[in-house]
Amino acid sequence: MDLLFAAKYPFTTGARSALLESGISMDEDTLQSGYERATVALSTGKLPKIAAELQSALVSQIASYASARMLLLALNNRYLTNRYAVAEAKRASAYLSGESEQNLELLCQELALRFEKNGRQYLLPFPEYLRFNPHSVDYRLSNRKISGGLVQVSPHERIRIMEEAIKARVGKLPDAKVPASVQPLAKKLLLHLPREELATVKLDSSNYPPCIQNMLVRLRMSENLPHTARWTLAVYLLRSGMKPEEIIGLFKNAPDYSEGTTRYQVEYLKQKGYAMPSCVTMDSYGICVARCRCASPVHYRKEKHGRFAEATRTDLQKGEPGTPSQETPEQTLAKKKWEDAKSRSQ
């Protein structure tokens, strides 16, 4: 086993077996190294590359990864796990661009990414592409060369996709029990949670359009929103009268949050006074989630209480089956009728 490879990419099965072979146990020192790895990742959003290539140093690198994830598993906090995964993916990605083709292929195999070489480009089956592309405008399927179920990507894009797959791999914690003794150290990591809880920001989100609500929910779950989504969200919230400080508070939940960048961006947006993109533009960014038929998300409130309310109602009537929005007494009766009928027939 190439130990250097395993230390660079500690999420691989090779790394796991190297760790087992080394006979290192999850003792206090190992846990401490994991705690340190997680602390650096969570506080700075980054992780340094390997400093020393001694065998023993490499093994401890792998061990620190494994124990960091064990600590995260003990907490099972989505924000911390995602933020940690972003840092690990960035670290791995820094190696990828200088990596040999052979090692890249090995990693792709590990990540279940079936890239095929095609001249200077690569081809990837579309379900894998959909799952792991970085979801920015450049990666929209409409602008891609796709044929026979395979999407064409450049070598650079291939690495970006690998980075996303690594992030997903690191962020997916195993379904395992953690010894109780790990808890005290793990709890210390909670310090890295965003200080302002989201709930303290007053949001009357019930009147926000579905696209904005969706972004807020995804942000709350510490998902990594693409740049265009963050941009539109900030523009919308600024226009709805929220203060920059409050908006920055919201973004604290983003796993790659950096206060400086966020503050700069939000204040820049406010200063520029950008107009809200229209629904068509939102759609082309891939962040429209419903067909609510208003020309722009800022019109949603008005539409919802006016013409739009009417339109949805008739839509529901003529539409194909869907969930009834609010059950009427007649519906309850009817439902009971079917349920009774069904229980008789089974």
Partner 1 sequence: MNSEEFVQRLFSDYYRSHQPAPNSLEKREFGFGGFEKKIEARHAWFKSQEALSKFLIVNTPFYLSYSAAYYEFPDARPMPKKNWLGADLIFDLDAPAHECGKFTCQICLEKIKAETLKLIENFLIPDFGFAKPDFAINFSGNRGYHLHIRHQSILELSREERRELVDYITGTGIEFASFFRTDENNRIYGPLPTDGGYYGKLARETISQLQDGKGEIVQILGKKFEKPPNAQKLIDGIRLGNWDAVRIIDKEKKFNEILKTLTIKLSDQVDANVTADTSKLIRVPNSLHGGSGLCAIDVKKGISDFNPLSDAVVLPATEVKVEISEPVPKIEMKNQTFGPYGKDAQITVPAYFAAYLICKRAAAIG
Residues contributing to the site for partner 1 (CB under 8 A) = 125-127, 130-131, 135, 137-138, 140-152, 283-286, 289-291, 320-324, 331, 334-335, 337-339, 341-342, 344-346
The answer for residues whose C-beta is within 8 angstroms of residue 280's C-beta and 6 or more apart is none
CB of 331 to partner 1, least distance (A): 6
Q: Which residue's CB is nearer to partner 1, number 179 or number 319?
A: 319
Q: Can you tell me the distance from the alpha carbon of 329 to that of 307, in angstroms, rounded to the nearest whole number?
A: 26
Distance of alpha carbon 237 from alpha carbon 276, whole angstroms? 10
Contact between residue 153 and residue 121 where contact means Cβ atoms under 8 Å apart: yes
Q: What are phi and psi of 236, to 5 degrees?
A: -60, -45
Over the Cα atoms of the chain, what is R_g?
Answer: 24
Smallest gap from Cβ 123 to partner 1, in A, equals: 9
Give the nearer residue to partner 1 in terms of CB position, either 242 or 279.
279
143 versus 206: smaller Cβ distance to partner 1: 143
Token pair for 58: 């490499």
Task: Choose between 188 and 335: whose C-beta lies nearer to partner 1.
Answer: 335
Q: Which is nearer to partner 1, 5 or 285 (CB)?
A: 285
Q: How distant, in Å, are the alpha carbons of 234, 261, 268, 313 from that of 273?
A: 11, 18, 8, 35
HEC states along 199-233?
HHCCCCHHHCCHHHHHHHHHHHCCCCCCHHHHHHH
Residue whose CB is less far from partner 1, 246 or 283? 283
Shortest Å distance, C-beta 168 to partner 1: 12
Task: Put residue 121 in one of left, alpha, beta given phi > 0 → left and psi -120 to 50 → alpha.
Answer: beta
Query: How far apart are alpha carbons 74 and 186 in whole angstroms?
Result: 7
* Least Å from the CB of residue 281 to partner 1: 10
Provide, rounded to whole angstroms, the least separation between the CB of residue 291 and partner 1: 6
Least Å distance, CB 144 to partner 1, is 5
Distance CA 247, CA 233 (A): 9
Kindly state the helix (H) or strand (E) to which residue 121 belongs, with its residue range. strand 121-125
Between 96 and 150, name the residue whose CB sits nearer to partner 1.
150
Nearer to partner 1, 1 or 137 (CB): 137
For residue 177, the 8-state DSSP code is -
State in angstroms the smallest separation of the CB of 126 from partner 1: 6
Residue 302 CB, nearest distance to partner 1 (Å)? Answer: 22
